[in-house]
Amino acid sequence: MPREAEPSLNEKQFVTQALQENLRLDGREFDQYRPVELTFGDQHGVADVTLGKTRVLAKASAEVTVPYADRPLDGVFTIATELSPMASPAFEVNRPTETEVLLSRLLEKTVRRSGALDTESLCLVAGQKCWSVRVDVHVLSHDGNLIDASCLAVVAALRHFRKPDTSMEGGVLTVYTPAEREPVPLSWLHSPFCVTWSFFGEEADIALLDATWMEEQVRVGSCTVSLNKHGEICQIAKLGGTPVDAVVLLQCTSVALAKVKEFSELLDKRLAEDLKRRDKGGFMAELRAENDR
Amino acid sequence: MTATSAPEAALGVLPRADGSAKYSHAGYTVTASVNGPIEAQRRDEHAYEAHVDVIVRPAAGVGGTRERHLESILQSSLSQIILVKNFPRSLIQIVLQVEDSPENDYVNTKLVQASLNFAIMPALMQTAVLALLSAGVPMRATATATAVTIAQQDGAKRITVDPTPRDIETARSVHVLAFTSHDELLLAESEGDFTVKEWDDVYETAKAICCRSAPAKEGVAMVLDDEDASGPDMRQFLRSAAGAKVAADLHWK
């Protein structure tokens, strides 16, 4: 596969110098995101996130499987990120690049390890049957900041997803098809989001939010903070690059909290809109099969 | 499960690819990107023609043998219509990403091992052709495709165009046919039991949908009757989708 063309020396210098003069190529503020758009598909569990020219599609799905032998009480939850040549011809099928490995690792740490999805609730029969929830992340167009867009898409898809309803009677497990019973949502504990900072300059003293692909190629380091709207930090990843001053990092996390609150509000708003769109005739409340907590 | 009767398409939806298209019809939604002609890898390089690489990616789960099978069918039929001899030693890469496919409400699906349905072929074919048009890849003809099933119902056989998953489950045979814009048969794939007579019927039905030469239609009522009788006019649709994109691109701002 052809390699992605790197920006020329002139382009690199132009971007850095403009940043030194407090200007971004697209005229945004340093801590401003590109317009975020979030839409849901016709099916449950399909979320499409657009961040400027970056576009990510996430699809959640579930099936009944056997739990892992060492974790008989937990369900299975996996996030699959595979970058296809659709994002860029430089990506090859079945050969993960560094970007892909880092992306899947970060999503894993943010969504799975932070316990956003209650995996114990996915258990049906201890040691024998459990739900396996899978989220597929498809990058349709890559123009920088894949991590934030993918994380938002994954969280949105999981919160929008409905799994088939089940019941246990006398040791017999029944899984109802969508025609028999309305599917139920997952047991969701909190919504973590990623905010990625890119650093520029000799001393890494310029910090940008939501870098485009051009800016990502020029940056000297980056740091991803994952937190929820209550300010609980799930992880901070700063993988190499120029060292950054601790005070700058502290400022970054406080700005990140404000951004996460915006994401959270956007997601809640879109979910409510989607529920309203689906609730034709107002029968949804009666059709619901899940119990109130 | 709202299967839209009229196909919908948008061209140039992805900003970074050479050409792209999004197509939805009969519950299937597919996005395609085309990059090409680009540098081919050594193992894919042909001395006298371009290599057409088709990648089908299911919405959920990893692709398996079924996807590879669909890829090989698409690859061989698209190589027929693309002018591959114009670009020796290069690669034309087509990535087809399935976004949505109709679900059968009566069955719980297995998802980790994705198994794409045979009936998704027309949607994949149509999206690929639209994306190739959008990328400006030279072709000797465009193609239109459709899926047809034959079901035995109360002793009489019934032909269904653009089947739902439920139709496919109850059908005796499923056929996918594609025609070029010169009314030539490009692709004929069948599954299940059928006779030669039945296949002829299927051929006629599919040809009526794919190769209808659009006559000057007068009056709305007549148009509506026509649509009901034999499904959407695919060729007209392809033409109008491409025409709309060109008109939008050439519109002087």
- pLDDT higher than threshold 60 for residue B219: no
Cα–Cα–Cα angle for B24, B28, B33, nearest 5°? 60
CB A224 within 8 A of CB A147: yes
Distance CA(A51)–CA(B103), nearest Å, equals: 29
Q: Which residues pair with A221 in a beta bridge?
A: A199
Nearest to A177 among B33, B106, B112 (CB): B106
Looking at residue B62, its pLDDT comes to 80
Which residues of chain B does A141 touch, with a Cβ-Cβ cutoff of 8 Å? Answer: 14-17
Provide the pLDDT confidence category of residue B224 given band limits of 50, 70 and 90.
Answer: very low
pLDDT digits (tens, 9 = 90+) for A283-293: 666 666 665 55
**Contact between chains at B112 and A164 (C-beta distance less than 8 A):** no
Instruction: Return phi, psi of residue B50, to 5°.
Output: -80, 145
Q: Which of B18, B29, B33 to mutate to test the interface with A (most CBs of A within 10 A)?
A: B33
Looking at residue B223, its pLDDT comes to 44
CB A44 within 8 A of CB A160: yes
Where in chain B are the domains? 8-242
**Contact between chains at A41 and B29 (C-beta distance less than 8 A):** yes
CB A36 within 8 A of CB A50: yes
What residue type is A80 in one-letter code? A
- pLDDT higher than threshold 50 for residue A248: yes
**Contact between chains at B112 and A65 (C-beta distance less than 8 A):** yes
pLDDT digits (tens, 9 = 90+) for A159-204: 999 999 998 888 888 888 888 888 899 999 999 999 999 999 888 8
Q: How many CB atoms within 10 Å of residue B86?
A: 12
| CATH number, domain B8-242 | 3.30.230.70
Looking at residue A287, its pLDDT comes to 64
User: Searching chain B, which residue's CA lies closest to the CA of residue A64?
Assistant: B110
Nearest to A41 among B33, B97, B99 (CB): B99
* B42 lies within 8 A of chain A by CB: no
- pLDDT higher than threshold 90 for residue B100: no
Which residues of chain B does A55 touch, with a Cβ-Cβ cutoff of 8 Å? Answer: 14
Sheet containing B19-25: order of strands: B8-11, B19-25, B28-39, B90-100, B51-57
Which residues of chain A does B16 touch, with a Cβ-Cβ cutoff of 8 Å? Answer: 53, 87-88, 141-143
Report the range of poorest mean pLDDT among A32-41, A94-103, A230-239, B83-92: A94-103
State the SS3 of chain B: CCCCCCCEEEECCCCCCCEEEEEEECCEEEEEEEEEEEECCHHHCCCCCCEEEEEEECCCCECCHHHHHHHHHHHHHHHHHECHHHCCCEEEEEEEEEEECCCCCCCCCCCCECCCCHHHHHHHHHHHHHHHHHHCCCECCCEEEEEEEEEEECCEEEEEECCCHHHHHHCCEEEEEEEECCCCEEEEEEEECCCHHHHHHHHHHHHHHHCCCCCCCCCHHHHHHHHHHHCCCHHHHHHHHHHHHHHHHHCCC
Looking at residue B218, its pLDDT comes to 46
Helix (H, G, I), strand (E, B) or coil at A171: coil
Number of A:B CB contacts under 8 A? 91
- Which residue has 């909190």 as its token pair? A190
Mean local confidence (pLDDT), A209-223: 93
